[in-house]
Structure 1
Amino acid sequence: MSPIELAALAASTSLLAGWRLYLVTLVTGLAMKFGYIGLPEQLQSLDILTNNWVLGAAAVGTLAEFFADKIAWVDSAWDAVHSFIRPIGGALLSAAIIDSADPAWQVVSFLLGGGAAAIAHAGKAGARTLINASPEPYSNIAVSTMEDVATGGLLALAIANPILAVIVSALLVFLSIWLVYKARRAIKVVMAHLAPRERPMKDVTPPPGA
């Protein structure tokens, strides 16, 4: 891969880790283990993903996330627990992909990868806050399934065509930022309605002649 393709792969992978860290880790590791992804010198540090213990842990995490993400409010609790895990995972994946011979690029890729994963995670969590306000459960299941399919499809695209994948990923970053903005506004509206309102004081003026 060229340096530009490596940077694109790092960007799209870290972004997708903000949605499905375990799935990204599992698919990337399996693709490397069975030879679908070649490991040039720059990617040798990712060889740890082919370890059977790592693959097993990623598979358990993927299965748990698949079910937890489809239950209203359980998904929000799951997102809250992963508020730090996903950005760190995205940062580590990005740093592992970029050439380790240049420490400056390693730091930059770590920070940008973590930032991209954090934005994607925040957008996902914000969207779920809006969806969980709906009384019916089907929209939550539908959106979660769409996220599963989108993550798998974009990950395959990142492996096959990193440049195109990073363009799509960049669009998703902007979408995530917009979702965060909309979620914050929605939460403020809900909190305003739930806040206790001051009741008007009763007129306690004594009647004339009292």
Structure 2
Amino acid sequence: MSVLPLVFTSGWASGINAYAVVLLFGLLGATGVTDEVPASLQRPDVLIVAAVLFLCEAVADKVPYVDSVWDTVHTVIRPVAGAVVAALLAGHNGSLPELAAGAVGGSTALLSHLVKAGTRIAVNTSPEPASNIVLSLAEDLGVAALIAFAVFHPVAAAAIAGTLLIGGIALVIFLWSRIRRYLRRRRQRRAQKRPATTSGATGAVPPG
């Protein structure tokens, strides 16, 4: 059976929470639940690092504004992780070239990451922190459920992931005006701080 549906789903999930994807695949393989997981993802050191980073993300992802900074840092990490996991899955299965799998996983991860980052920016325009926590929990549970489901029903899981990706893109387009206002205010704040810092550093010393 082609591994492409599993690659696509893992790419979508990696764009949301790459560490959860590595951890879940590793645990499912190490516990013998499935033989679709390559041995490199089941290594104890990989599982430990993934678990620690997952816990860090679980905290950062629920704090307003910190989550957006975290997303910015992971703009490269999540797509790369999606590409690597996809290539490993393809290499283990042998039904899809690893380079093609990496391209699918990485590009899908980038799209879902941009959807997540844009949605978080829109959520951060609201003054209360509860929405960040609820959204983060929904993302974590959704990733866990879909990865577990994809191991046994890859085609159905890929269809769900595709629907979520399209829906997320539509949501970001709908929220674009709010996202744009947030980004404009952030640029203005940076511009206001810059002259103050410059004048403080280069100001003339009054004669004594």
TM range (shorter): 0.7 to 0.9
Higher alpha-carbon Rg: 1
3-state SS of 1:149 partner: helix
Alpha-carbon distance between aligned partners in 2 of 1:187 and 1:163, rounded to the nearest angstrom: 33
Q: Which amino acid counterpart does residue 164 of structure 2 have in structure 1? A: L
1:24-173 mapped onto 2 (5 Å cutoff): 24-39=21-36, 46-99=38-91, 105-173=97-165
Q: Which amino acid counterpart does residue 12 of structure 1 have in structure 2? A: T
Q: TM-score, normalised by structure 2?
A: 0.82
Alpha-carbon distance between aligned partners in 2 of 1:155 and 1:101, rounded to the nearest angstrom: 17
For residues 158-185 of structure 1, the C-alpha deviation after alignment (integer angstroms, 9 at most, x for no partner) is 1121010000011111123223323433
The list of structure 1 runs, each at least 4 consecutive aligned residues, that deviate by more than 4 angstroms after superposition, is: 99-104
Q: Which amino acid counterpart does residue 86 of structure 1 have in structure 2? A: R
For residues 19-48 of structure 1, the C-alpha deviation after alignment (integer angstroms, 9 at most, x for no partner) is 011011001001111101114xxx6xx211
Which of 18, 31, 34 is equivalent to 1:21?
18
Alpha-carbon distance between aligned partners in 2 of 1:73 and 1:79, rounded to the nearest angstrom: 10
Cα RMSD after superposing both structures: 2.2
Which of 6, 11, 23 is equivalent to 1:9?
6
Alpha-carbon distance between aligned partners in 1 of 2:128 and 2:137, rounded to the nearest angstrom: 16
Q: TM-score, normalised by structure 1?
A: 0.82
Is the Cα–Cα contact under 8 Å of residues 10 and 94 in structure 1 kept in the other structure?
Answer: yes
Q: Which amino acid counterpart does residue 23 of structure 1 have in structure 2? A: A
Query: Gapped runs of 5+ residues in structure 2?
Result: 189-208
Query: Gapped runs of 5+ residues in structure 1?
Result: 196-210
**Do the aligned partners of residues 70 and 170 (structure 1) sit closer, same or farther apart at CA in structure 2, a change above 3 Å counting?**
same
Is the Cα–Cα contact under 8 Å of residues 126 and 180 in structure 1 kept in the other structure?
Answer: yes
Is the Cα–Cα contact under 8 Å of residues 14 and 81 in structure 2 kept in the other structure?
Answer: yes
Larger proportion of helix:
2
Q: Which amino acid counterpart does residue 188 of structure 1 have in structure 2? A: R
